Structure 1
């Protein structure tokens, strides 16, 4: 529950400290006094965006600080979920300047997202226009699911729905890819077959070009090799014969002059090398092939490869091999896409079956909770002067899955006997909506583990005996939780165990809002003013005392 609230330099508030009791607190004050400023400050504290316009004095820091007593509520796991230290007395602080804003939970700096996520566990702030949320199907589902305790099933359903939608999108994408791939498949297969037929391997192009030049110039090569052999082996004047003569001369010379021995050995080495060269030339000459048919075949193979190089706009056979490998991979992927489609369809079917099971569970629980809720609401509405009201919560199973299941929800309402049931938001007046919302909040109070709730003029559109009954219902709610009601009706204000009054004062230099905790006499005076406008009226005072008693 909210134990205390400190506000400094916010809107019309200069500096106030409020302490709240744990049961039922009512807040009153003249129109424009600043009752809504309290809600604004609490909203800022719990994550609403701030701007410098909210500062009373832009040169000073705005501070909003609240202490929550969580001793009766097991929120340790929630705090650990947000990676926060847990303490039964939780202190939340928000500091705002014209340039920046900071927030702390138990002295740990936090961002606004954590404040926003933590808010539903601490307090429910019912704003003046929230009664209109009864028209929203999301709120109608929320109420039923609270009573049905559907939270875990709904969370499981929504996680499964996310998986289902992801699989649907994947299947559609795979089918689109298959359509696109089918169009390219024949052409890719043709390109791959063309490359495969060329029997490409690394270095093949260079080998073919060398062999082509060998065959193309075979006769010239034979002539050059034959002439080279002849030059070396020609009698009397050939290279070998001349070197042999030099060797003989040096052999003779070294017998008398040993210093020429090295030259003689070098000549001997040249003679041996020359013999090897001749043998290799003769072998090469034997290997030279004059083969027009083979030349033509290699020429065609080279033309084919050069055509592929030009076609694929590359320069080497290594690049062609890479292209062939890529095409092969694409063809393989295409062959796998049917298998992936089949696998995805199987998973989608299994997920759909699980969704159907979960949605049936949700629907069954909601139908039971709808019957319970209808009875409880009618009972409370009867207390609030709507004895002839009728409510029917319709749940119809549909084909399509949505965020909350597979059923369509509609709240039908009639305020008067004999009138047909119609959609709640179309036939309920503002006052009827307020009473309906109070009835719902009162019912949920026994199902929700919520420390505090604040009503901001939920009594709009009611008065007299009905207002008194609304006050009694809120008082009854305060047995389960802390209830704070901002009200303009004395019948409700009188039911509070604690009564705060918002006062706006103006002097020559400034206007400011203060809040006072009223004692018994001050409460009588305030209620008298609210009843008749004259705090000294004997009848108003008597009426005020009777309300308090």
Structure 2
């Protein structure tokens, strides 16, 4: 719960440091004194949007600190554990927000800097604020649905519906994208099928073009290869009159004779002897080569045709003939992907249908939960507004099923009211007066507040538009909630203020150069004086004092 609120240089607040007790605390003050400023400051501390205009005139910055005891707040503890900010031996956590006069904002939890969005996340487990304009929101269908869901406490069902809707929507968008591309894909498919079929038939293998190109050169020059190789072979070792092999052997023999006279020639003789052996080896190789060479015009024509077709296809696909095999693979892969896209289209259609069924199953469970809670809340609000000076009032939450899918489910909610006997139930915006709307709104807020797990509830002038005996009932309703939950209530009604376990007064002080607002705790006697002021205005008489005393006793 909230245990302390510190505010410095916020709007017209110079300095405020006040401890907050458990139970129901009412906040009162003269009109225009700034009773809601403390609530606004707390809202800023809990992550509301910061503006430079919030900084008190003449100050450099605004600072707001709120201290919360989380000892019995397991959801807040779980959040702190998830953020790695929980300390087992610590119960009090301080939220601090600083706004500079330029509008820059900084936020902290126990001194650790955090984004403002994180404050909002944390504060949702600490405080729930009901504003004075809630009765205006009550006419909006989205707000009505939100109120019903708060009362039903079925976040898990809403989460399931939201996730199912998002899954269905994502698949639907993918399918839509595929279908939009289908016409282009079909045209490309026809071209690819022709191209790949043509290349499949040609079936050029990796490295094949280089091989047939080499073979073509050999076959087309076979005559020259035979004649010139034969000439080289003859000159090397086959010519009867003179050949390289025999001449080299003569040289070796001659040098071997000379070695007897000079051993220095041994190395030369050795080199020439090795050369002679290499010459003989070369001769054997040339002989085998000559025996392998054949003139094959048929094979030459065959290779010529294949090379010509390869060149034709390479020009068609604008690649070199040596890259044609890779182009064939690329086109075949693209064709495969396009065919898979058609298969994916069919598969996606099936997935979309499954996702839709999953959504409707989740939406049905949510609708059933809403219907059950709608019946319950209708009875309780009808009973509540009857105690708020609408003796014959009847309230009903009507749920209309819709075929339209949304992340909130498929239900359309409408709040109906019958304020007078003999009249049919009609939509709030058609029949409810301002005062009736305020009472209905208050009844709903009090009822839903009892279902919300946050340990601190704040009601900011939610009793606008009611008075007299109705106000006393409202005060008793809020006090009952305060018996189990910390309640802070900004009010202008003495009947409500008197029901608080504690009371604070907001006072505005004006000087020639400045305006200041302060808030102080009231003791028993001070509460009687403040209630008397609320009852009688500026003139406080013994009668108003006595009436105030009676109110406080009640």
Kept in 1: contact 2:310–2:321 (CA 8 A): no
Aligned partner of 1:501 among 496, 500, 505: 505
Q: Report if the CA contact (8 A) 2:3-2:20 is conserved.
A: yes
Aligned equivalent of 1:95, options 95, 98, 113:
98
Confirm or deny: 8 A CA contact 1:534 1:540 kept in the other structure: no
Q: Is the 8 A contact 2:4 2:20 kept in 1?
A: yes
Q: Relative to 1, partners in 2 of residues 1:50 and 1:255: Cα closer, same or farther, differing over 3 Å?
A: same
Between the aligned partners of 1:522 and 1:156, the Cα distance in structure 2 is 53
Unpaired runs of 5+ residues, structure 1, are none
Task: Give the aligned partner of residue 287 of structure 2.
Answer: 282
- Alpha-carbon distance in structure 1 between the residues aligned to 2:147 and 2:267: 114
Does residue 297 of structure 1 match 2:302? yes
Query: CA offset at residue 116 of structure 1?
Result: 0.1
Partner of 1:320: 324
Q: Note if contact 1:52-1:58 (Cα within 8 Å) is conserved in structure 2.
A: no
Structure 2 distance, partners of 1:143, 1:426, is 20
**Any idea what the Cα deviations from partners look like across 1:71-104, whole Å, max 9, x if unmatched?**
4443332332333215443332223334654333
Q: Find the aligned partners of 2:164 and 2:392 in 1 and give their Cα distance.
A: 43
Alignment: residue pair count: 548
Q: 1:58 to 1:219 in 2, by over 3 A?
A: farther
Q: Which moved more, 1:198-207 or 1:339-348?
A: 339-348
Are 1:235 and 1:241, in contact at CA under 8 Å, matched by a contact in 2? Answer: no
Alpha-carbon separation, structure 1, partners of 2:271 and 2:66: 108
Find the counterpart in structure 1 of residue 278 from structure 2: 273
Q: Distance in 1 between matches of 2:78 and 2:468?
A: 45
Alignment of 1:437-516 (within 5 A): 437-516=441-520
Q: How far apart, CA to CA, are the structure 2 residues paired with 1:514 and 1:240?
A: 123
Distance 2:249 2:408 in 1: 108
Residues of 1 paired with 2:162 and 2:38: CA distance? 36
Which residue is equivalent to 2:241?
236
Equivalent in the alignment of 1:62? 62
Task: Select 1:400's aligned residue among 399, 404, 414.
Answer: 404
Q: Which one is further off, 50-59 or 40-49?
A: 50-59
Unaligned runs of 5+ in 2: none
Conserved? CA contact 1:535–1:541, under 8 Å: no
- Asked if 2 retains the 8 angstrom alpha-carbon contact of 1:493 and 1:499, the reply is yes
Q: What's the TM-score, normalizing by structure 2?
A: 0.89
Contact 1:167/1:344 (<8 A) preserved: yes
Q: Deviations over 1:363-399 (max 9, x none)?
A: 2222222121111111111111112323222112222
The equivalent of 1:27 in structure 2 is 27
Cα deviation 1:121-152 (Å, max 9, x = unaligned)? 21111222222222333332333334433222
Residues 1:48 and 2:48 aligned together: yes
Please show how residues 127-166 of structure 1 align to structure 2 within 5 Å: 127-166=131-170
SS of match in other structure, 1:121: coil
CA contact (8 A) 2:382 2:393 kept: yes
SS of alignment partner, residue 463 of structure 2 = coil
> In the alignment, is the contact (CA less than 8 A) between 2:479 and 2:499 conserved in 1?
yes
Q: Residues 373 and 264 (structure 1 numbering): CA distance in 2 closer, same or farther, change over 3 Å?
A: closer
- Mapped partners of 1:95, 1:490: distance in 2: 35
Residue aligning to 2:78: 77
Cα distance change of structure 1 residues 256 and 56 upon mapping to structure 2, 3 Å threshold: closer
Assess, with a 3 A threshold, how the Cα gap between structure 1 residues 484 and 286 changes in structure 2: closer, same or farther. Answer: same
**2: distance between equivalents of 1:262 and 1:479?**
120
Structure 1 residues 108-119: aligned runs within 5 Å: 108-119=112-123
Does structure 2 conserve the Cα–Cα contact (< 8 Å) formed by 1:45 and 1:64? yes
Question: Is 1:518 paired with 2:529?
Answer: no
Cα deviation for residue 64 of structure 1 reads 1.4
Calculate the TM-score normalised by the size of structure 1: 0.89
Most deviating of 147-156 and 14-23:
147-156
Residues 484-511 of structure 1 show CA distances to partners (whole Å, capped at 9, x for unaligned) of 2212233322332322221111223322
> Residues 480 and 429 (structure 1 numbering): CA distance in 2 closer, same or farther, change over 3 Å?
farther
Bigger mean CA offset, 123-132 vs 228-237:
228-237
Seen in structure 2, the aligned counterparts of structure 1 residues 128 and 272 have a Cα distance that, compared at 3 Å, is same
What SS does structure 1 have at the residue aligned with 2:512?
A: coil
Residue pair 1:45, 1:92 contacting (<8 A) in 2 also: yes
CA contact (8 A) 2:130 2:445 kept: no
- Is 1:390–2:394 an aligned residue pair? yes
What residue number does 2:539 align with? 535
Give the alignment partner of residue 415 of structure 2, picking from 405, 411, 416.
Answer: 411
Report matched runs for 1:120-131 at 5 Å: 120-131=124-135
Evaluate the alpha carbon distance shift between residue 228 and residue 89 of structure 1 in structure 2; reply closer, same or farther with a 3 A threshold. closer
- In 1, the alpha carbon distance for the partners of 2:41 and 2:442 equals 24
Give the Cα–Cα distance (whole angstroms) in 1 for the partners of residues 178 and 515 of structure 2. Answer: 67
**Distance across 2 between alignment mates of 1:267 and 1:523:** 130
Please list the CA deviations of residues 286-309 of structure 1 after superposition, one character each: whole Å capped at 9, or x if unmatched.
333333332232222222223343
- Displacement of 1:513 in angstroms is 0.9
Q: What is the Cα deviation at residue 432 of structure 1?
A: 2.0
SS at match of 1:358: helix
**1:214 aligned to 2:215?**
no
- Name 1:4's counterpart in structure 2: 4
